[in-house]
Amino acid sequence: MHDIGNRHMNPEEVERYSLEDFSDEETTSFDEHLLLCERCRMDVESSDAYLSAMRGAASQIRQTPPRVRLRRAPALKTTAAGNRLA
Specify the 3-state DSSP secondary structure of 3.
Answer: helix
Question: Near Zn ion by CB under 5 A, which window of 3-11, 23-31, 55-63, 78-86?
Answer: 3-11
Decide if 52 contacts 44 (C-beta within 8 A).
no
Least separation in angstroms between CB 73 and Zn ion = 50
Out of 8, 35, 56, 58, the residue judged to bind Zn ion by CB under 5 A: 8
Q: For the chain, report the end-to-end CA distance as a whole number of angstroms.
A: 71
| 19 DSSP assignment | T
Question: Near Zn ion by CB under 5 A, which window of 15-23, 30-38, 49-57, 60-68?
Answer: 30-38
Question: Near Zn ion by CB under 5 A, which window of 22-30, 37-45, 54-62, 67-75?
Answer: 37-45
| 1 DSSP assignment | -
**CA 13 – CA 83 distance, rounded (Å):** 60
Residues that bind Zn ion (CB under 5 A): 8, 37, 39-40
